[in-house]
A = this chain, B = another copy of it.
Amino acid sequence: MSLTDDALVIFTPSGKRGRVTRGTTVLAAARKLGVDLDSVCGGRGICSKCQVSPGYGTFSKHGVTVQADALTEWNEVEARYDRIRGLKEGRRLGCQACIQGDVVIDVPAESQVHRQVIRKSASDRVMVMDPATRRFYVEVREPDMHEPTGDFQRLAEALENQWQVKGLVAEPHVLHKLQTVLRKGEWKVTVAVFHDHLGPPRIVDLWPGFHDAPLFGLAIDLGSTTIAGHLASLTDGRVLASSGLMNPQIRFGEDLMSRVSYAMMNPGGDQEMTRAVRQGLNTLATALAEEAGIDPAEIVEAVFVCNPVMHHLLLGIDPVELGQAPFALATSESLGLAARDLDLNAVNPGARAYVLPLIAGHVGADAAAVALSEEPYKSEDLALIVDVGTNAEILLGNSDRVLACSSPTGPAFEGAQISSGQRAAPGAIERVEIDPETKEPRFKVIGCDLWSTDPGFAEAIAATGVTGICGSGIIEAVAEMRMAGLLDPSGLIGSAEQTGTWRCQPEGRTHAYLIHDATAEDGPRITVTQGDIRAIQLAKSALYAGARLLMDEMGVDRVERVVLAGAFGAHISPKHAMVLGMIPDCPLDKVTSAGNAAGTGARIALCSVAARRAIETEVRRIHKVETAIEPRFQEHFVAANAIPHATDPFPELGRIAPLPAVSFNTGGSGEAGGGRRRRRG
C-alpha cells in the first residue's frame, strides 16, 4: 500500500486506471475514471446494480499488489443485502466498499450499463446495450410554500443534480400522476427516462420508492403479410417472447401494390388500413406481454421496421405516391414519436416509438434493419444480402461501398400463385428430392421429420395430411426437376415420353409433374405445372436481375458471399437456390442464412441508441439503385429466365452436379420472358 493520500485503482476489463483519494467509494471512483459501472439508486445501497469483484494479490500485468485491506470491510448495507437477496461470492457493492489502497476491480458484465450480450443467433456477434430508456432513483426536495416551485421542477432538478439528466421535458401524461407518486414514495421515486439522439430527455413513467422491475421494449417487423414482434428486456436485450400475426390489412389487398390501389380507389381507404394495422399492433403487444408474463405497462419502447408502404400506412400517410414514379417518400429519415401517436395504447402510456429510416421508395426500414443486423458496411468480403419477401430487398457491398435495391419478386416464393401452393404451415411440402435415375420424388412436410418414402410416414402425417407445397418446397421441386432432366434450360416440362417417367402428365397444351396423389383418400393431387415453373422463373429472374444490377453498378461479376435473410431465407436450400439461378454463383459454403435479419436489426436498434445513430448514418451513405427505371434490369431479367446450363462459369463450386443438357421440342412457347410480368405503377 502506498503511503500517499491517494490510491491507484485499476478497473477491468476496461483497463481504465487512475488515482483516487482514499475513502472514495468504488462507484465514485468508477464514475471519476469514466468506467461503465451501473447504478439505479445513485449509490444509496438499494439497487445492487453496482456489484464489483475486487482482486487481491499481485497483478504483474498491472504492476500492482493488492492488499487484503485495500477495500473497507464488508458493511452493514452489504450484509443486509446479502441476507435478503444474496450477494455472489467475492462480490462487493461498489457504492459501499471504499478504496483504502491500490486495488484491481473487475466490473462483471451484468454490472455494466453498456454491457455486451452474446446473441443467440448463429453468428457470434455481440450486442452492446445502450438503451434509450433507463431507470433512475432520485430523492426529490419537498415542496416549500415559501419557494413555490412545481413538483415537476424539483424532480427535474433532482434528475439533473443526481444523474446529470438535463433539459427534461414536461409531458401531460407524467404531470397527471406525478404528485401522487411523489407523495406515495415520500419524495423518493424511480423514474424511467427516455433519452435518445433525436430529442430532449422525457419521463416515460415513474414509481414510488425504489422500483426494480425491468423495462421492456418491442421490436416489430411490420410486413405486408405478417407482423412479427419480439418482446425484449431493455436491461440485457434478452427476448422473452416472440409472436406474429397476420397483417389485418390483408383484407384490403394481398400485396403492397393492391393496398396502394385500394388507397387510390377508395377515399379514406388509407385511413382504414392505418386503423387496421394499428389495431393489429395492439393485439400483438398484448399477446407478447401475455406470453412473457409481464404487465403491458412495462413495455416502454417500440421499434418498427417495415417496407415503405407499410411505413406510410403505419404513420397514417397515404401511400399513393409510392405506387407511381418517382416513388417519392413522404419522409425518409428515422422518426421518434410517442407510441400513442401511433395509437399503440396497449403499452405504457408514456412509451416511445422509433421507426428506422427508409433507404428509398422501394427499399424500406426493413432493409435498413437487415443492414444493421448484417453490417455489409463493415464487411471485408463483397457480400450480397438478399431478403426475400413479396419484394426482395437486396444489398451488395463491403466496407467501401454499399448498394441497395428492391426487386418485385411477387408472391411465388411464398407459395402464392402456385397451383398447389400454400403458406409454410404443417402439412406443406418443404423439401423435395427427385431421383435422377428413376425420376421418382420423395419429400418432407412441415411438422414431420420423415421423408415421404420412410416407413411410418403416412401415420406420422395422419393429423394434417399433405396439404400443398410451400415456397421452399416449390423451389426445391423446380431445381430437382431441372437436375433430374425433367425440365429443359428454358424451363419447359418434358412429356412422359421425353422424360421417361409417367409422372410427367399432359395438362392442357403443356405438362405437369405429379409429386403426390392422395385423391384416392379424398386428398389433394399435388403437381408442379408449367404455370408454376413460369411463376418461379419470373420470381427468380427478378431476384437475380436485381442482384446483377447491383453487381453491374459495383463493377463486379461475382460476389464473395451471399446472405439469405428473412424467414424464407432460413428455410431455403442454398444449393437449390443456386441451381435455380435465384442468386449469383458463389461457393456454396459462402452462402449463409441470417434468419430474420430485419427482426434482429429491429432488436439491435431497440437495445441501442448508438445503433440507431449508426444505421441512420449508414443509410445516408447507401447508394440506391431504382430497378423500375433501369433498362439493364429488364435485360438481366429476360436473360435470367433460363435455368442455368451445364457449363458452369464457376467449376470450383464442384458440389453442384452439372445439369443435363436436355432439350424438349417445345412446340413454341411464348410464355418465357418478361411479357407477362406485372410491373409496378
Contacts and interface: CB of A to CB of B under 8 A. Distances in A.
Contacts of A628: 145
A622 to B, nearest CB: 10
B148 A330 contact: no
Interface stretch (A171-179, A242-250, A478-486): A171-179
B153 A331 contact: yes
A624 B330 contact: no
Contacts of A122: none
A175 B145 contact: no
A56 to B, nearest CB: 51
Nearest to A155: B331
Contacts of A329: 143, 148-151
> Top 9 nearest A-B pairs by Cβ distance?
A150-B332, A143-B328, A148-B360, A152-B331, A150-B331, A150-B329, A145-B326, A145-B626, A143-B326
A152 B333 CA distance: 9
Nearest to A327: B145
Given A145-B325, A148-B332, A179-B320, 4 more contacts: A148-B327, A148-B624, A150-B358, A175-B331
A361 interface: yes
A340 to B, nearest CB: 10
Contacts of A358: 150
A141 to B, nearest CB: 11
20 contacts: A143-B326, A143-B328, A145-B325, A145-B360, A146-B626, A147-B624, A148-B326, A148-B359, A150-B333, A151-B321, A152-B330, A153-B331, A172-B337, A175-B315, A175-B316, A175-B331, A176-B317, A179-B318, A179-B321, A179-B328
A28 to B, nearest CB: 32
Nearest to A182: B328
A76 interface: no
Contacts of A170: 331, 333, 335
Interface in A171-227: 172, 175-176, 178-180
A146 B325 CA distance: 11
Interface in A128-177: 142-153, 170, 172, 175-176
A69 interface: no
Given A143-B326, A176-B317, A326-B143, A151 B629 contact: no
Task: State the oligomeric state as a number of copies.
Answer: 2
A150 B624 contact: no
Contacts of A328: 143, 148, 150-151, 179
A560 interface: no
Nearest to A169: B199
A82 interface: no
Contacts of A172: 315-316, 337, 341
B361 A151 contact: no
A145 B363 CA distance: 12
Please indicate which of the listed interface residues A153, A329, A626 has the most CB atoms of chain B within 10 Å of its own CB: A329
B624 A153 contact: no
B626 A330 contact: no
A145 B359 contact: no
A607 B626 CA distance: 48
Contacts of A326: 142-145, 148
A145 B153 CA distance: 48
Please indicate which of the listed interface residues A143, A150, A315, A628 has the most CB atoms of chain B within 10 Å of its own CB: A150
A629 B145 contact: yes
A151 B330 contact: yes
A201 to B, nearest CB: 13
Contacts of A146: 624, 626
A626 B328 CA distance: 60
Contacts of A320: 179
A316 B176 contact: yes
Interface string A108-143: 000000000000000000000000000000000011
A626 B148 CA distance: 9
Interface string A289-326: 00000000000000000000000000111101100011
Interface in A15-36: none
Please indicate which of the listed interface residues A179, A333, A359, A360 has the most CB atoms of chain B within 10 Å of its own CB: A179
A317 B175 contact: yes
Contacts of A330: 150-152, 175, 178-179
Please indicate which of the listed interface residues A148, A315, A327, A360 has the most CB atoms of chain B within 10 Å of its own CB: A148
Nearest to A334: B170
A66 to B, nearest CB: 50
A326 B147 CA distance: 10
A519 B260 CA distance: 77
B148 A331 contact: no
A79 B341 CA distance: 49
A62 to B, nearest CB: 46
A392 B585 CA distance: 85
Contacts of A152: 330-333
A230 to B, nearest CB: 25
A146 B625 CA distance: 7
A587 B624 CA distance: 79
A678 to B, nearest CB: 20
A148 B622 CA distance: 11
A624 B146 CA distance: 7
Contacts of A149: 329, 332
Contacts of A148: 326-329, 332, 359-361, 363, 624, 626
A588 to B, nearest CB: 35
A321 B315 CA distance: 38
A139 B330 CA distance: 16
Contacts of A179: 317-318, 320-321, 328, 330
